[in-house]
Amino acid sequence: MSSRDSIFKAIRQGLGRGPLDDAARSQLDARIANPPQHIRATVDDADLITRFAQRFESRSGTTERIASLADVPAAVAALAESYAIAPSAVVGTALGELSWPDGWQIDHGAATIDVMLGVSLAWRGIAETGSILMLSGPDCPITHNFVPETHVVVLPVEHIVRHYEDCWVALRERGQGAPRAMNFISGPSRTGDVEQTIELGAHGPRRMHVLILG
């Protein structure tokens, strides 16, 4: 008997029944198709943008408001200058064609080991916890989120939702199943593994800056 078969046999033996009948199965499938809604965290803020920024900043992230997509390069350049980061970045093509200041090197490929700065477009921002949600794809490579020491994320205000559950609704409407990778990111990488004291920049970005667009 294969390991799979013996495990399923043991599960059913433990539960004291054979395989479920068709009626029971379709009931469970219906639970997946129409997921029951559970209790959520109360988010009664009228202004979700402020809530998002406050929560995100509570975990050492930084935010900045910009008016249009065209402002992204200047905002990134200013940040790079203040942290003495070389004018070079990996940028997801989801952000479209941006016009970068002279001297900037922009790459749309996967992030390699020496990349110090990444710029990406957030798919959603969650006001409840102040987290962003990134979906991986050719225009939003996942290495951009984790390899660079500094990660700048552009979050259009209309992408900000109240709860996690709003992301699930949007994801199901998108209709392609789950992307290969989906990342909720709630601030810079951190560790408490040396004497329970938090240090930033364990493995992922040491710095995270969200450009709230709109």
Partner 1 sequence: MEFRSPEFKTRAVHALHDANLQKALSNTKAGFVVKRAQAAAEMPEFEALRDTAAEIKNHVLANLDHYLEKYEAAVTAAGGHVHYATDAEDARRIILGICKKANAKRITKGKSMVSEEMGLNEALIADGYEVVETDLGEYIIQLADEPPSHIIAPAIHKTKDQVADLFAAAHNKPRKTDRAELVAEAREVLREKYFTAEVGITGGNFLVAETGSSVIVTNEGNGDLTQTLAKVHIVTSGIERVIPTLDDLSVFLRILARSATGQETESYTTFSTGPRREGDIDGPEEYHVVLLDNGRSKMLGSRFQDMLRCIRCGACMNHCPVYGSIGGHAYGWVYPGPMGSVLTPLIKGMDGTYDLPNACTLNGRCKSVCPVRIPLPDLLREIRHNQFRQDMTPKRQKQALKLWRYVAERPKLYHFAERIGVRILASMANGKGKLRSLPFDPGWTGARDLPAPTGRTFLELWQAKRGDK
Q: Which of residues 35-74 bind partner 1 (CB under 8 A)?
A: 35-42, 55, 58-59
DSSP bridge pairs for 154? 121, 211
Q: Order the strands of the 124-126 sheet from edge to edge.
A: 131-135, 124-126, 160-161
Nearer to partner 1, 100 or 164 (CB): 164
Contacting residue, 23, 32, 67, 84, with partner 1 by CB under 8 A: 32
122 Cβ neighbours under 8 A, 6+ residues apart: 132, 133, 134, 153, 154, 155, 156, 159, 210
Task: Please report, as residue ranges, which positions from 93 to 152 form the binding site for partner 1 (by CB under 8 A).
Answer: 109-113, 129, 131, 136-138, 141-143, 145-147
Residue keyed to tokens 């980061």 = 85
3 state SS of 200: strand
Residue keyed to tokens 């992922």 = 204
Q: What is the distance between the alpha carbons of residues 131 and 55, in angstroms, rounded to a whole number?
A: 8
Please report how close the Cβ of residue 167 comes to partner 1 at its closest, in angstroms: 8
| Piece of the chain touching partner 1 by CB under 8 A; list 67-75, 76-84, 153-161, 172-180 | 172-180
Q: Which two tokens stand for residue 79?
A: 């940040």
Query: How many residues are recorded in the chain?
Result: 214
Q: Which two tokens stand for residue 96?
A: 């479209």
Answer yes or no whether residue 15 interacts with partner 1 by CB under 8 A: yes
Answer yes or no whether residue 83 interacts with partner 1 by CB under 8 A: no
Answer yes or no whether residue 175 interacts with partner 1 by CB under 8 A: no
Nearer to partner 1, 150 or 189 (CB): 189
Q: What is the distance between the alpha carbons of residues 22 and 145, in angstroms, rounded to a whole number?
A: 44
Please report how close the Cβ of residue 133 comes to partner 1 at its closest, in angstroms: 9
Contacting residue, 48, 164, 170, 214, with partner 1 by CB under 8 A: 164
Answer yes or no whether residue 178 interacts with partner 1 by CB under 8 A: yes
Nearer to partner 1, 151 or 159 (CB): 151
